[in-house]
Amino acid sequence: MPVLPKAINALQRDFGELCKKGGGQKGGPARGKVQMLLRNYGKHLNEYAHSETIEHLTTYAEYDPWHICFAIGLSWGHLAKLDLDFTGAVVGLLREWNDEDLKTAKQFHMERGPDPIEQSLRGAQNAVFVGCIA
């Protein structure tokens, strides 16, 4: 049976291959190979995250950057798909609460459904209202 029977990305598949090859203590993957794998994927992730963040900050430059980062954080927290339209709905909603932006934002939900997005946005909106967030 594979180590990760339902690998969902290349990193997990590559790690599974390293596990099959062994070479490490107690039969596991070789530590150096795992470290190199994580280093290489980490570099790629950092490059991707930087370019995505710049794109969102540039697209919504007239909005509060904290609100843009909050939208990106919801995506990185695996609540919503990372998408410019999602970010637009979130920053619009945090600027002025409205049903249309809420409806749009909730359409980008991941496997946990739309409720965690709404709960997070209501929490953020309350924090904005009481002055906790710029």
Task: Write out the DSSP string of 38-70.
Answer: HHHHHHHHHHHHHHHHHHHHHHTTTS-HHHHHH
* 21 and 71 co-located in one domain: no
Mean pLDDT on 48-77: 91
* 65 and 116 co-located in one domain: yes
What's the domain count of the chain?
A: 2
Report yes or no: 120 and 74 within 8 Å, Cβ to Cβ.
yes
- Any domain includes 55: no
Residue-level pLDDT at 89: 98
- Any domain includes 2: no
- Any domain includes 16: yes
For 7-59, the pLDDT digits (tens) are: 777 878 888 888 888 887 777 788 888 888 888 888 877 787 888 999 999 99
- Any domain includes 64: yes
* 64 and 117 co-located in one domain: yes
- Any domain includes 50: no
SS3 content of the chain, % helix, strand, coil (to 5): 70, 5, 30
Question: Of 79, 83, 87, which is closest to residue 112 (Cα–Cα)?
Answer: 79
Above 90 in pLDDT, residue 107? yes
Please give the share of the chain, as a percent, with pLDDT higher than 70: 91
Instruction: Give the whole-angstrom CA distance, residue 31 versus residue 9.
Output: 21
* 70 and 133 co-located in one domain: yes
The residue segments making up the domain with residue 68 are: 60-134
Report yes or no: 105 and 116 within 8 Å, Cβ to Cβ.
no
